[in-house]
Amino acid sequence: MIKVHCFVSCVCEIIKRTPGVDHRPFYFGVWDADFSVNDQMELSYHSPHTRHNEFRDWYKLLYGISIEPWYNHKADKDTNIRTLVSLVENRPSDRQVMVMLDLYRLPERENKFHQNPFPHYVMLETTDNPDEWFMSDPDFRWEGVLPKDRILDSVRSPAAAGGFYFDGLNIRHTPAETVAAYFAQCMKTDHNPFTDALRRILRAHTGPDASQPLANLPHAFREIPVMAIRKYAFEHAFAWLLEDQGKQAEGAPWFEAVCEDIERLVKTYTQIQFRALKLVMSGDSALLASVEQLLDEQDEREFAIKTRLLGLFDDWQRYRNIGVPRPDTEQAPLEVL
Amino acid sequence: MSANRHAAIKAVLQQHLPNARLSAFAGSARLNADLAIDSIMLLQLIVHLELEHGFNLPEETLLTQELETVDDLARLLVANDQKEPSL
């Protein structure tokens, strides 16, 4: 599994290491996870207002663990750095300390996105050397030792502001009813927020009624790759709902076909970004209709994936003999920050 | 033909992508790790190659092939007169 969502990867790491508990249901919330579109109609996978409250609430319900915020957004950076240092240096062995840093400031860490800035959550521990800290970055499947000063410099970036801690004692086995309720809460059956947002962003930059310059479209679409990979969370959901019924996922033709469709969904966002870029760079307005067409195809593709997932979810509910209603179609609209 | 493609790639990096690490340019150079070309820079590079140098990368290739090195990109480029039908 490649990078999907850094906050989720961090909090799931301890679940993955706990026998008898499965982290994959937590990914139900990821394929349509929050993002923002700012006043200039630019897509952003992260916004200064992101607090991950829903993820934290459901983590508590699913696994019995409270994720506590330690970062004080009203205090200055130095105060928060002092808090971080104290938390890391006085960390009980079962505590995970998460911090948001700007990965762009750590070029020694390979980062395929090369975006500046790149806000990103990691977990930190001390080492025997007081000048070095151990960094765990499950989202990139990386861990290693880095100079403490280098880490703190990346935390000091104005683009990074956030942190949580949680204790790994007493992780509980998740009741099936809670998993079902989480699925119902996450499943947006009548709209695909990411594709909808891309359509609105595209229309804000094109045509006679555009509110934004066409030349800004590539920048507005810049973070598409970071968002697109969240759709791989569907794979976790399909695999878990199959395996929890004692069925095979990996290698089974039905599952592999679904994975191919998910892959196509992810990759087609690249195609959308490519055609939008070509539209701007070539001035060939005929490309606009083709981008719209790809967005329509993405909707069709994602609705089809969701329909199959709902069918599998129904099977799983029958298998588990639970009667949670199917996902409600009433959903809050995308918040434009 | 291959030399032309490599030269075209290098020319685009020189002219349009100042954040790329041109000093590391070579056929075997990795686009991301060695040349610091991120995903959007790669797309820009491909569009410039098409608009200014007569080479295109079929979209299906973009979706199905891993473009790891300069050689990978050069190998998959197609001359514009052999391109797929217009969109």
Instruction: Specify the pLDDT at position A6.
Output: 87
* pLDDT digit string, tens, across residues A53-108: 888 999 999 999 999 999 999 999 999 999 999 999 999 999 999 999 998 888 77
Task: Count the neighbouring beta carbons within 10 Å of the beta carbon of residue A300.
Answer: 12
Task: Count the neighbouring beta carbons within 10 Å of the beta carbon of residue A60.
Answer: 13
Q: State which amino acid sits at residue A310.
A: L
In percent, how much of chain A has pLDDT > 70?
A: 92
Residue indicated by tokens 């329509």: A296
Instruction: Specify the pLDDT at position B49.
Output: 96
Task: Quote the radius of gyration of chain A (alpha carbons, Å).
Answer: 21
pLDDT at A326 over 80: no
B17–chain A Cβ distance below 8 A for any pair:
no
Contact B47 A281 (CB under 8 A): yes
B24–chain A Cβ distance below 8 A for any pair:
no
* pLDDT digit string, tens, across residues A213-248: 999 999 999 989 889 999 999 999 999 999 999 999
Average confidence (pLDDT) over A269-277: 96
B53–chain A Cβ distance below 8 A for any pair:
no
Residues 6+ positions from A309 with CB-CB distance below 8 Å: A187, A234, A237, A238, A241
Average confidence (pLDDT) over B17-43: 91
Instruction: Specify the pLDDT at position A126.
Output: 97
Give the 3-state secondary structure of residue A125: strand
Contact A271 B43 (CB under 8 A): no
The secondary structure element, H or E, covering residue B38 is: none
Q: Report angle CA A106, A93, A98 to the nearest 5 degrees.
A: 35
Longest Cα–Cα distance in chain B: 36
Chain A residue whose CA is closest to B34: A110
Instruction: Specify the pLDDT at position A226.
Output: 85
Provide ipTM, 2 decimals. 0.88
Mean pLDDT over all residues of chain A? 90
Residue indicated by tokens 């973009």: B62
CA-to-CA distance for A287 and B26, rounded, in angstroms? Answer: 33
pLDDT at B84 over 80: no
Ramachandran region, residue A20 (left: φ > 0; alpha: ψ -120 to 50; beta: rest): left
Of the ranges A101-115, A319-333, B5-19, the best mean pLDDT one = B5-19
* Measured CA distances, A47 to A7, A43, A154, B51 (Å): 13, 10, 17, 35
pLDDT at B72 over 60: yes
Q: Which residues in chain A have Cβ-Cβ distances shorter than 8 Å to B40?
A: 218, 222, 225, 273, 277
CA-to-CA distance for A241 and A313, rounded, in angstroms? Answer: 7
* Measured CA distances, B80 to A187, B58, B84 (Å): 44, 10, 9
Question: Which of the four pLDDT bands, split at 50, 70 and 90, describes residue A327?
Answer: low
Contact A271 B37 (CB under 8 A): no
Q: Which residue has the higher pLDDT, A51 or A187?
A: A187
DSSP state of A96: E
Nearest to A118 by CA among A71, A159, A162: A159
Q: Which of B38, B43, B86 sits opposite A114 (nearest CB)?
A: B38
Contact A113, A226 (CB under 8 A): yes
Range with the poorest average pLDDT among A63-72, A104-113, B74-83: A104-113
Q: Which of A267, A275, A282 sits opposite B51 (nearest CB)?
A: A282
Nearest to A112 by CA among B84, B36, B17, B83: B36
Residues 6+ positions from B18 with CB-CB distance below 8 Å: none
Mean pLDDT over all residues of chain B? 88
Rounded to two decimals, the pTM is: 0.87
Average confidence (pLDDT) over A43-53: 76
